């Protein structure tokens, strides 16, 4: 629905990126990786946003960088929309549905993950150095968006590990110490699509 309101899915993703990284500057190819959109679409929307004034650009080391213009006339209302505004106990993530304002519920929305395991501070276990373990082919832009919101919820920076499912499958089957140590002890298995963790215990 918000895509229709703002006229472009790419524009929505760009606004979310800039408003959730207010002090950061990005170059075009970096942006395309972060939001997973075509470079021509990104360039077109960035030009429009510079013309409007919501984004500013600068040259540095032969690269053109883009950053949020905090002096933009409608900065405050846009910031409320694109930083996860809380409404009636729920949080709106741009480009997605309204999710319950709950970290585990947000983590469940990570796409492309075959394994998701919550540990450490997420489940009140101070003995673990890892808070979150993820395996699969995840969308980096969506993952970053969700984890940023989880960090806002929890009030700390997450310690997390992301791996390929094939690597986890093999290393867990041969009882690799790194994987076993991560998955040992207290944990909340949020997702195990292929029952890989069950096979590893056999």
DSSP assignment of 95-161, as one string?
TS-EEES-HHHHHTT-TTEEEEEE-GGGGT-TT-S-SEEEEE---HHHHHHHHHHHHHHHTS---EE
∠ Cα 62 63 65 (to 5°):
145
Half-sphere exposure of 58 (CA within 13 A, CB side): 8
Helices (H) and strands (E) in the chain, counts: 10, 10
Tens of pLDDT, residues 86-141: 434 444 444 444 344 578 888 988 889 999 999 999 999 988 999 999 999 998 88
pTM of the model: 0.52
Tens of pLDDT, residues 30-66: 899 888 889 999 999 999 999 999 999 999 888 899 9
Query: With pLDDT > 90 as the criterion, what percentage of the chain qualifies?
Result: 35
Q: From CA 186, how far away is CA 107, in angstroms rounded?
A: 18
Among candidate residues 30, 22, 24, the one with its CA nearest the CA of residue 141? 30
In the numeric block, which tokens belong to residue 70? 């905090």
């Amino acid at each position: 629905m918000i895509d229709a309101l703002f006229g472009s899915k790419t524009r929505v993703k760009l606004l979310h990126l800039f408003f959730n990284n207010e002090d950061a500057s990005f170059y075009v190819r970096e942006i395309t990786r972060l939001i997973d959109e075509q470079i021509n679409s990104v360039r077109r929307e960035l030009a429009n946003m510079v013309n409007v004034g919501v984004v500013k650009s600068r040259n540095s080391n032969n690269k053109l960088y883009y950053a949020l213009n905090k002096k933009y006339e409608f900065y405050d209302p846009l910031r409320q929309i694109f930083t996860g505004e809380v409404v009636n106990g729920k949080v709106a993530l741009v480009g997605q549905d309204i999710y319950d304002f709950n970290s585990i519920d947000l983590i469940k929305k990570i796409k492309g993950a075959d394994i998701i395991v919550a540990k450490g501070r997420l489940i009140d276990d101070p003995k673990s150095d890892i808070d979150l373990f993820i395996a699969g082919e995840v969308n980096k832009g969506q993952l970053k968006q969700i984890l940023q919101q989880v960090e806002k919820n929890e009030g700390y920076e997450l310690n997390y590990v992301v791996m390929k499912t094939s690597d986890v499958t093999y290393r867990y089957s041969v009882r690799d110490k790194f994987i076993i140590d991560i998955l040992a002890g207290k944990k909340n298995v949020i997702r195990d699509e292929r029952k890989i963790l069950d096979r590893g215990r056999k």
